[in-house]
Amino acid sequence: MLDDIIELMKAMQTHHVDELVWEKDDEKIKLKASHPGRVVQVKAEAEEQDASDDLMAGYDWSEIIESPVVGTYYAQASPNEPPFVEVGSEVEKGETICIVEAMKLLNEIVAPRSGVVTEIYAEDGQKVEYGQMLMRIKPHEGE
């Protein structure tokens, strides 16, 4: 049981989940991350699962990409070029997905994993705050 809890904690950290409630039979576990001031939303559907099913199969493990600095969000490298990504774009781990300019320094933001861009929260030229959600990437099955 302790190994399961440790695995859940690791999954929470990897996938930026702030709070998790897991129930099985008569057991209930509530895990809550401790990093105040951070806003990340993850949706979960409660489903009855067989013991052989993956415990986290009902969760949306989309990766939330947050701004690492206060600055200006840019969707493309220059005004004459197409955006790095759009909703529905396939991305590879390490691929540049946007730029955040801070104090004349261009910070390339890269995909932390391969997947599909499902949402983009920022608009080109928009001022963004540290930790502000920029986009969401749904990882490929099994990643």
What is the residue-wise DSSP string for 120-139? Answer: E---TT-EE-TT-EEEEEEE
56 lies in the same domain as 119: no
Phi, psi of 113 (to 5 degrees): -160, 165
90 lies in the same domain as 101: yes
CA separation for the pair 123, 64 (Å, rounded): 16
* Residue 81: per-residue pLDDT: 94
128 lies in the same domain as 67: yes
Domain that holds residue 39: 1-61
24 lies in the same domain as 74: no
* Residue 69: per-residue pLDDT: 94
43 lies in the same domain as 111: no
* Residue 25: per-residue pLDDT: 76
* Residue 122: per-residue pLDDT: 95
Structural domain total, the chain: 2
Q: Tens of pLDDT along the chain (143 residues)?
A: 666 777 777 777 777 777 777 777 777 777 776 554 444 444 444 444 444 355 555 556 678 899 999 999 999 999 899 999 999 999 999 999 999 999 999 999 999 989 999 999 999 999 999 999 999 999 877 65
12 lies in the same domain as 51: yes
* Residue 28: per-residue pLDDT: 76
* Residue 47: per-residue pLDDT: 43
